[in-house]
Structure 1
Amino acid sequence: MKKLSAMILALLTVFATLTGCASGSSSDKKDNAIVIGVDDKFAPMGFRDKDNNLVGFDIDLAKAAVEKMGKEAKFQPIDWQTKESELSSGRIDLIWNGYTITDKRKEMVLFTKPYLANAQVIATKAGSDIKTIDDLKGKVVGLQTLSSASDALNANPIKDSIKSISEYADNVLALSDLKSGRVDAVIIDEVVLDYYMSQQEGTYKMLDETLAPEEYGVGVKKGNEKLLKELQKALDEMNQDGTAAQISEKWFGEKKVLK
């Protein structure tokens, strides 16, 4: 009986040890992962290819940076309207997908240094008679909800003269309605419009005037200066060793990254 009890006790000790090791391994994996919130319909920054793989400039840049940090990148598609809530709740660690740096957003998140220049531009159908910002008077304008496009339009006097604003969950839907004629123009990121104009030649045109120059940064949760510092160090190293430039060449055909 004593031998049986001793054997059972030994088995329980081994089981507890193995369970503890397994739990520790799982925790280590969790601690090693950085969850990145993205809009997976924001080409060429982050989007789905024909095989439904998540690809894009920001995806490649994030993977390379997180690898330099000795971590594992995990991408989480999110509703762009709730991006700051997703970050503050801890469901994601970073907002990284054409995330424009603004004073309002600085109140909610920490930002890395700018890594890419952009501008809010006006897209119309290729044959449209809209040629200037003033030509938007009396027109229906589309844009992504709670985006920097909305901020740019709100800051321009033309807003008071347009007929109406149609808001969309993503730029793909906005451009689709532009193509079908349900809106007359779309306020959109220049890098995004450049991509779609290259993919659908003769469909859209970009006005020469821009609404607002801007810069992209990566959003980090307020209070997490440690993660911000580690990430910025990785980004700086990528600028110095040419990694960022190579990724830019791949997606834009030129070096667009900022130093």
Structure 2
Amino acid sequence: MPAFSRRTLVVALSAVVLAACSKTDSNAPVAAASAPAAPALPAKIVVGLDDNFPPMGFRDEKGQLVGFDIDLAKEAAKRLGVEVEFKPIDWNAKEAELSGKRVDALWNGLTITDERKKNIAFSAPYMENHQIIVVKGGSPIKTKADLAGKLIGVQDGSSAVDAIGKDEATAKSFKDMKKYGDNVTALMDLSTGRVDAVVLDEVVGRYYTSKKPGEYVVLDDNFGTEEYGVGLRLEDKDLLARVDKAMADMKADGSAAKISEQWFGKNIVK
């Protein structure tokens, strides 16, 4: 082969080698993009509650807010690494308080209903409850049928109103239904004879009536079973997921059971 041909061949081969070295391997792994960081939680979460709803949330003899739901919320907030503030609200306006961002959560024996799900994002249920019927000791009322022609007390805006409404036949038999700002006032009117019976959450009714043995009687009949959940704004999906995880962890490690035993004498957490 002539000398100039050999030089030409060497130059050509060098060019091929250089091109091969500089070419990016299409099969080489590409560095994975780092996962986006989870949205930061607010420094403080404001919990709206009815402060006259024992034992879920109420004021003790010193005026301090205490209760089962308050202790649960405090423990969950600690696990989330946020401060929690408890804000008493008009429970009948709870959805407006939440959507108006005057509170960030509703955590106070809030019943999960299909109607409320239209405006509220609920956590996984953490407790079962019944809408019980309480009458005065010695009352002739023994069953739901005996409520016919009677004046019934309920808390305005509570799930008791909805539960009664589902039993149309019984509801139509009432003389009337009187609505109160809170259950405690309704029970006080029951004791003085201003109403004949009160329909309310079992956890509240049994706690309150146990403090005054003989004054009240809880009927065997009730207006159905329901579940409690934490209520958040529909758009707060990340906060909801974190609250659900905190609650699941509290159930798994026994913290929720311990709080329940302090308030109810047994674990009634779902």
Same fold at TM > 0.5: yes
Residue 59 of structure 1, CA deviation: 0.4
- Tell me, yes or no, if structure 1 residue 51 matches structure 2 residue 62: yes
Aligned partner (choices 187, 197, 200) of residue 209 of structure 2: 197
**Match status 1:32 vs 2:12:** no
Q: SS where residue 31 of structure 1 aligns?
A: coil
2:123 pairs with one of 92, 112, 128: 112
Q: State the one-letter code of the partner of 2:250.
A: M
Task: Name the residue aligned to 1:176.
Answer: 188
Displacement of 1:126 in angstroms is 1.1
1:75-224 map, 5 Å: 75-156=86-167, 157-224=169-236
Aligned residues: 229
Paired residue for 1:247?
Answer: 259
Runs of 4+ aligned residues of structure 1 deviating over 4 Å after TM superposition are none
Q: Look up the equivalent residue of 1:202 and give its one-letter code.
A: G
**Matched AA of 2:44:** A
State the shift of 1:31 in Å.
3.3
Provide the alpha-carbon RMSD of the alignment: 0.9
Secondary structure, aligned partner of 2:213: coil
1:108-159 deviation digits (Å, cap 9, x = unpaired) = 1000000011000100001101000000000000000111000011111201
**Greater C-alpha radius of gyration:** 2
Report the CA distance between 1:194 and its aligned residue: 0.8
Q: 1: CA distance between counterparts of 2:175 and 2:109?
A: 28
1:253 Cα deviation (Å)?
A: 0.2
- Which of residues 52, 65, 68 is equivalent to 1:41? 52
Cα distance in 2, alignment partners of residues 133 and 231 from structure 1: 38
1:210 CA displacement: 1.1
TM-score normalized by the length of structure 1: 0.87
Structure number with the higher helix fraction is 1
Which of 60, 76, 100 is the aligned partner of 1:65? 76
Distance, in Å, in 2 between the alignment partners of 1:78 and 1:109 is: 16
Length-normalised TM-score, structure 2: 0.84
| Residue 65 of structure 1: how far off its partner (Å) | 0.5
CA distance in 1, matches of 2:71, 2:198: 27
Structure 1 Cα separation of the partners of residues 137 and 43 of structure 2? 48
Instruction: Kindly provide the amino acid, as one letter, of the partner of residue 218 in structure 2.
Output: M
Name structure 2 gaps, 5 residues minimum: 1-40
C-alpha distance in 2 between matches for 1:139 and 1:84: 31
